[in-house]
Amino acid sequence: MERTIIIGDVHGMDVELTNLLNKLEIRSDDHIVFVGDLVDKGPNSAGVVHIVRELSNTHNVVVVEGNHEEKHRRFRKHRKNGTGIDLKMKGAEEMCEITDGLSEEDVSFMDTFVPFHKVEKHNVLVVHGGIPGSMTEFPETVEELSSWSSKKRKSFSKTLRTRFVNKETGKFLQLGDNTESDPFWAEVFDGRFGHVVFGHEPFMDGVGEFPHATGIDTGAVFGGELTAMVFEGSVPSFVSVKSRGKFCKAFGE
């Protein structure tokens, strides 16, 4: 039976990714989706991109762009333009090192990452961060999103970074702008766009399960685990491998 496998934030943990793929015993007809943030924080971001690109040559692979890939995309654009803005970006030194380790094929592959992915068979929507409660419209396809106005696309891009939302309005809050009374988005999400599978927020005690959402970033780069959500039939299961150690201390962006 064909499986849909959704893999949480890898963050440069190449050994853990290889171990997870081996544990999953990847089949030729598997549909493999990554929730984003393949890169940054961990020991071998370029290696992770290479592994996933090689996998995409033989399997049906989709990568949802995470906020770290989005940042790298902006970095590469500024670097190409020669404006010097790239060197002033937060994390420029790490991004420069990672970019230098990427092949042209790796960079071209990263340019194919998508803003979201729908698994229609299971009524699942994969995004990197989350859905603000104020969002009332979601594109049917990635192509439809590209036809939206720049203002609407900018608003949609908050799905990359959503964690907490305003308790009254449901609007996206920048990290640090939230108060104790502002909920994590998945706590109040009503399932209006289907069941959302997401990364971005590390759940160190295991998968984050909510009524209409599942968080599968289990903090591999923080010394936790790397987790896959596996659909084979109607009820998903979870497969995880332990991290070999902590490579990043601080949560956040």
Reference 104, options 129, 80, 125, 138; nearest CA is: 80
**pLDDT on residue 252:** 66
213-215 and 225-231 beta bridge pairing = unpaired
Q: Are 67 and 38 contacting, i.e. CB atoms less than 8 angstroms apart?
A: no
| pLDDT at residue number 16 | 98
Q: Given this model, what pLDDT does residue 253 score?
A: 66
Rounded distance between C-alpha atoms, residue 232 and residue 230, angstroms = 6
- Detail the DSSP E strand segments found in 157-194: none
Q: Per residue in 103-140, pLDDT tens?
A: 999 999 999 999 999 999 999 999 999 999 999 999 99
| Strand stretches in the chain, DSSP E | 4-7, 31-34, 60-63, 117-119, 124-126, 195-198, 208-210, 213-215, 225-231, 237-242
Q: Are 225 and 240 in contact (CB under 8 A)?
A: yes
| Domain 4-242 indexed as CATH 3.40.50.720 | no
Output the pLDDT for position 15: 98
Give the mean model confidence (pLDDT) for residues 36-44: 97
C-alpha 53/C-alpha 39 separation (Å) is 13
Enter the pTM of the model: 0.95
> What's residue 175's pLDDT?
87
Instruction: Enumerate the domain spans of the chain.
Output: 4-242
CB of 129 closer than 8 Å to CB of 159: yes
Residue 234 scores a pLDDT above 90: no
Q: What is the pLDDT of residues 168-205, one digit of tens each?
A: 999 999 988 999 999 999 999 999 999 999 999 999 99
Average predicted confidence (pLDDT) for the chain: 95
Q: What percent helix, strand, coil does the chain show, rounded to 5?
A: 30, 20, 45
Q: What percent of the chain stands above pLDDT 90? A: 89
